[in-house]
Structure 1
């Protein structure tokens, strides 16, 4: 599946990571040059700098051949304009848009090209599920060909792993850490990095269950 994600904040980056891990062709558009530079070495997706509200940039990003567009910028007006362009001008089959302000939710419908509107508080797994039209989250994230799963866990103040180096956490057999997202920024999973409350981890495993992985950190 060809996926175009607009907005490389924490949520957009996580969606890109999960969909890229599931072997989709993912392109991410971001207007902040510093953010693009931060992600160049850590995000396994095509990165394009620019304003996706401009039809020319959406065209260069591959909107005309995309199966799915996910608009997750921090501005509702941008998400609406991008959704409308994606649907009406480029004929994208499925358009998902993030609703940042609850009072704007009524605008996010088919009139603006939005197939699925997701509140800003929607968890990552649910958003990916809505975006792809999957009805089973576990099936969605299971990489059937490789026999692995992508699992998310968040460090809290009460987590046993809080304050410990990543390399000190005994992982279940067949499990690796794909990335550590801190303050919205994905970083390479260096064994020396100390885990702090608020850190979000994406792990890949071909043997462990989700419960076993959460038990290792929580």
Structure 2
């Protein structure tokens, strides 16, 4: 997979390293020449250019990339990069960093963003997830609310204990994708039983969350 990353600061470099370890091709765009350091991310292609400039993206043949990651520390720049990547080059997947949670509402389809990643929001969700038992916690939103990654930690005395996954009556468009049990990550199979204390990870649209609460027997 070919991935372009706008912004070679600490965040951009960290993303690049992880992607390269997983055998993806990575190109880093950085406008500040002082931040260009090929030794910091080996095997990446470094481009000294402003990714907000259409001509620079054209020279890099951005249309040949599978993913654009807008990872600068400036929300305005990330929105411009996202819009150009999606509308001018039809990049299939655009992921954008949200620096200020107050701007999160902008990071949607209108600006070409497929997935908006807000570090403050994620940290707050993880804190909430760590202390919440028996209620849904929204961890991440995809495509401006079309689908959410939500987590539910079952109480030890859940009436669902012992019930196999196939007998869970989930609302339409909601899917159980992972069960976290102790140190295990379980990809749920139809015969896998539910246990008290399980952390269940679902993908569901916002409108399905009330029905999901009811299906999992969560009190409102």
Q: Are 1:40 and 2:33 an aligned pair?
A: no
How many residue pairs match? The answer is 125
* Residue deviations 1:68-112 (CA, integer Å, cap 9, x gap): 000010111100010000000000000000111111100000010
Distance of 1:102 and 1:19 partners within structure 2: 26
Secondary structure of the residue aligned to 2:116 is strand
Deviations 1:142-176 (A, max 9, x none): xxxxxxxxxxxxxxxxxxxxxxxxxxxxxxxxxxx
1:90 is paired with a residue of what secondary structure? coil
Higher relative contact order, chain-length normalized (CA < 8 Å, sep 6+): 1
Q: What pairs up with 1:1-218 in 2 under 5 angstroms?
A: 1-36=1-36, 39-44=37-42, 45-121=44-120, 122=122
Helix, strand or coil: the match of 2:39? Answer: coil
Q: Distance in 1 between matches of 2:30 and 2:83?
A: 18
Shift of 1:61: 2.5
Q: TM-score, normalized by length of structure 1?
A: 0.54
CA distance in 2, matches of 1:7, 1:19: 15
State the 1:57 CA deviation: 0.6
How large is the RMSD of aligned CA atoms in angstroms? 1.9
Aligned-pair CA distance for 1:58: 1.1
- Deviating 4+ runs (over 4 angstroms): none
| Native 8 Å contact 1:4 1:62 kept in 2 | no
Q: Following the alignment from structure 2 to structure 1, what is the Cα–Cα distance between the partners of residues 115 and 45?
A: 24
Distance 1:6 1:35 in 2: 12
Q: Which residue of 1 aligns with 2:137?
A: none
When Rg is computed on C-alpha atoms for both structures, the one with the higher figure is: 2
Q: Secondary structure at the match of 2:40?
A: coil
TM-score relative to the length of structure 2: 0.54
Contact 1:29–1:61 (8 Å) recurs in 2: no
